[in-house]
Amino acid sequence: MLDKNSPLPIYYQLEEEIRELINSGQLKAGDLLPSERVYAEKYEISRMTVRQAITNLVSEGLLIRQKGKGTFVAEKKLEQPLKGITSFSEEMEARNMKPSTKIISFQQELAEPVVAKKLQIEANTPVYKIHRIRLANDIPLAVETTYTPAKFIEGISEEQFTSSFYDIIEKRLNLSIGYGEQEIESVLANDSEIKHLNLHKGDPVLLVRRVTFLSNNEPFEYCRTTYRADKYKYKIQMHR
């Protein structure tokens, strides 16, 4: 219940109450919340106060508004710790989710200067560009574009890239993956990402750029991946 004598703002108390219902499982992903009017009458507060609490929870990603339908509990974001090199397939399998891949394009081309610099090769060196949609339980979560020097995957068929690229490197080519360098930023989804990830214009995505190296310090992958920001988040453990 809300305490009107508390120094805590009423909207904040309502936020915390709804948040607790979600965290305890009493409100589950996809559940429809009561209307602003219902909350206002139940707690004898203004609809403006209710609206502020709901808006804050929407901004936090716990709730989602659907025009003409109401406000729903959002799907819980997938949390990815930043402490090791894992493939998308490994990440999803660790969560007991079924990973799958749709290949948009698979082609050999000459490395542009930006790609060549990332892979530490000469410009116009042959590389493969693999453009894929990554799904978990048939839900599209990410669009991924991978560049790799052609020498690494000559003779590897397009169909094999419906599974983990790292499996190809380690199990088929018997190469050892050493380490990676990764950058993460928030950007707005472009037209292609809107189409493939079922987003809307103006929706944010998490853009992850990674260069991955073999144990001999040779780069074998430059990957640009955009994740749905409403379903994915990164977690970093820090020590002092």
110 and 190 inside one domain: yes
- pLDDT per position as a tens digit, 178-188: 999 999 998 99
- pLDDT per position as a tens digit, 63-115: 888 888 899 988 776 666 666 788 888 888 888 889 899 999 999 999 999 99
- pLDDT per position as a tens digit, 6-34: 889 999 999 999 999 988 889 988 899 99
Query: What value does the mean pLDDT of the chain take?
Result: 89
- The residue out of 54, 73, 92 marking a domain boundary is 73
44 and 128 inside one domain: no
In a domain, 5, yes or no: no
Q: How many domains does the chain have?
A: 2
Mean pLDDT of 196-211: 91
pLDDT computed for residue 82 by the predictor: 64
Say how far apart CA 228 and CA 208 lie, in whole Å: 11
Q: How far is CA 208 from the centre of its chain?
A: 9
CATH of residue 189: 3.40.1410.10
- The residue out of 58, 73, 88 marking a domain boundary is 73
Say how far apart CA 199 and CA 190 lie, in whole Å: 10
120 and 138 inside one domain: yes
Mean pLDDT of 45-73: 88
Q: Which range has highest mean pLDDT (35-44, 71-80, 159-168)?
A: 35-44
- The residue out of 30, 53, 73 marking a domain boundary is 73
Mean pLDDT of 187-205: 91
Contact 169, 175 (CB under 8 A): yes
Burial class (CB in 10 A: 0-12, 13-18, 19+), 138: exposed
Measured between alpha carbons, how far is residue 149 from residues 68, 71, 130 in Å? 50, 47, 11
145 and 37 inside one domain: no
Determine the structural domain holding residue 52 and report its residue range: 10-73
